[in-house]
């Protein structure tokens, strides 16, 4: 079986990690895209022209179209008996699910939903799966600060960063026994991992809506922080969907309001170091067991072969 992962822009290196996961379990997979990522990932999908991507499609058994990419569908949809799977991963589908379903559903055999809030919006033969993480590259590290460190480094404007900053600075004004590290500056991938490494607790997300659409599902940065062995605080408005798909709860500390963030963070900061290290270890163990390349590769392979 030959699989092709394709898109124009590969947000969060999602398609490339998906392909690496498939390759880790012995599936022949090629991943291609048109544009290089602004985050400067050291390892990315191959850059190709539309003509070159179409040639790759002709020789693939399964075409996985990432990020609801309409251009890739236009290349693949007229190929006779070509197996097409679409991945709906973010803003494009959230803000236009009805239109996307009308366009994709007639041509795909199944739809992979990367976020729980997309469930039940009408995608054809939907199946839920989150991203894959290279847990060999992203190692478990411990912060060397003398006091606990809390960090937030948003990758986009939808993370609820203003609310997060206000809540944590207010808490920091009440107690000065922790460090707070935050920056909205976009940096390359290696630098992002380096600064995330310098904390004990990573606050990823505090926003339940994107404009008028449901939001509130954690993303790749939460998985990266967990792989580093950080305690992750985030939103998770569809916990049941995750638990039904994976048969386990996440280790995340879930918050959906400013006050809840302050209360739960305050509770964590009162814990002894031994408890903090235990919780950090649970984060790492969970992401390796359920979302490493090998674990993800087996799930992707199951999705492809699923009737």
Query: pLDDT tens digits for 37-49?
Result: 878 788 999 999 9
Query: pLDDT tens digits for 53-87?
Result: 999 999 999 999 999 999 999 999 988 778 999 99
Query: pLDDT tens digits for 222-234?
Result: 999 999 999 999 9
How much is the pLDDT for 210?
Answer: 78
Average pLDDT of the residues in 153-176: 91
Residue 214 has pLDDT above 80, yes or no: no
How much is the pLDDT for 207?
Answer: 86
- What percent of the chain is modeled with pLDDT above 70? 100
- Number of Cβ within a 10 Å radius of residue 266: 13
Average pLDDT of the residues in 127-153: 93
Residue whose token pair is 């990758």: 155
Q: Note the pTM of the prediction, 2 decimals.
A: 0.93
Residue 113 has pLDDT above 80, yes or no: yes
pLDDT top residue among 215 and 260:
260
Domains and their CATH numbers in the chain:
2-132+292-305 (3.40.50.2000), 148-291 (3.40.50.2000)
Read out DSSP for 15-30? Answer: HHHHHHHHHHTT-EEE
Read out DSSP for 210-241? Answer: ETTEE--B--HHHHHHHHTT-EEEE-BTTHHH
Average pLDDT of the residues in 99-118: 97
Residue whose token pair is 């599936």: 27
Query: pLDDT tens digits for 145-161?
Result: 889 999 999 988 889 89
How much is the pLDDT for 145?
Answer: 85
How much is the pLDDT for 80?
Answer: 78
Residue 216 has pLDDT above 80, yes or no: no
- What percent of the chain is modeled with pLDDT above 90? 85
Shortest CA distance to 194 belongs to which of 160, 234, 237, 224?
A: 224
Residue 215 has pLDDT above 80, yes or no: no
Is residue 219 within 8 Å of residue 172, measured between CB atoms?
Answer: no
Q: Residue 200's Cα: distance from chain center in Å?
A: 20
Average pLDDT of the residues in 114-140: 95
Lowest mean pLDDT: which of 32-36, 82-86, 155-159, 168-172? 155-159
Q: In angstroms, rounded to a whole number, what is the distance separating the alpha carbons of residues 53 and 74?
A: 12
Phi, psi torsion values for 10, nearest 5 degrees: -100, 90
Residue 28 has pLDDT above 80, yes or no: yes
Residue 212, both tokens: 């008028």
Is residue 8 within 8 Å of residue 72, measured between CB atoms?
Answer: yes
How much is the pLDDT for 146?
Answer: 87
Q: In angstroms, rounded to a whole number, what is the distance separating the alpha carbons of residues 298 and 217?
A: 23
CA atoms within 13 A on the CB side of 300: 35
Query: pLDDT tens digits for 196-210?
Result: 999 999 999 998 877
Average pLDDT of the residues in 278-296: 97
Residue 34 has pLDDT above 80, yes or no: yes
Length of the chain: 307
What separation in angstroms does the CA of 138 have from each of 56, 190, 195, 235, 237?
31, 10, 13, 23, 27
Q: In angstroms, rounded to a whole number, what is the distance separating the alpha carbons of residues 47 and 9?
A: 10
Q: Point out which residues pair with 292 in neighbouring strands.
A: 133
Residue 142 has pLDDT above 90, yes or no: no
What separation in angstroms does the CA of 39 have from each of 36, 104, 165, 185?
9, 29, 23, 12
3-state secondary structure of 117: helix
């Amino acid at each position: 079986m030959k699989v092709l992962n394709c898109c124009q822009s590969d947000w969060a290196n999602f398609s490339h990690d998906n392909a690496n996961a498939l390759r880790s379990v012995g599936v022949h997979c090629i991943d291609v895209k048109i544009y290089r990522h602004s985050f400067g990932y050291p390892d990315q999908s191959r850059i190709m022209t539309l003509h070159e991507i179409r040639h790759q499609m002709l020789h693939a058994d399964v075409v996985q179209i990432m990020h609801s990419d309409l251009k890739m569908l236009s290349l693949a949809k007229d190929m006779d008996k070509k197996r097409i799977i679409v991945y709906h991963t973010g803003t494009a589908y959230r803000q236009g699910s009805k239109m996307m379903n009308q366009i994709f559903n007639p041509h795909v055999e199944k739809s992979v939903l990367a976020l729980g809030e997309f469930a039940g919006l009408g995608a054809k033969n939907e199946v839920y799966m989150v991203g894959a993480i290279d847990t060999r590259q992203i190692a478990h590290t411990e912060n060397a600060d003398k006091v606990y460190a809390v960090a937030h480094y948003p990758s986009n404007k939808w993370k609820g960063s203003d609310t997060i900053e206000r809540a944590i600075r207010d808490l920091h004004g009440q107690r000065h026994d922790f460090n707070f590290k935050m920056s909205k500056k976009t940096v390359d991938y290696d630098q992002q991992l380096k600064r995330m490494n310098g904390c004990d607790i990573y606050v990823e997300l505090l926003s339940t809506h994107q404009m008028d659409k449901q939001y509130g599902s954690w993303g790749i940065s939460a998985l990266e922080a967990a792989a580093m062995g950080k305690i992750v605080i985030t939103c998770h408005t569809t916990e049941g969907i995750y638990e039904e798909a994976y048969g386990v709860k996440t280790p995340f500390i879930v918050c959906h309001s400013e006050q809840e963030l302050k209360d739960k963070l305050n509770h964590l900061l009162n814990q002894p170091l031994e408890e903090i290290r235990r919780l950090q270890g649970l984060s790492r163990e969970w992401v390796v067991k359920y979302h490493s390349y090998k674990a993800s590769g087996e799930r992707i392979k199951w999705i492809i072969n699923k009737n």
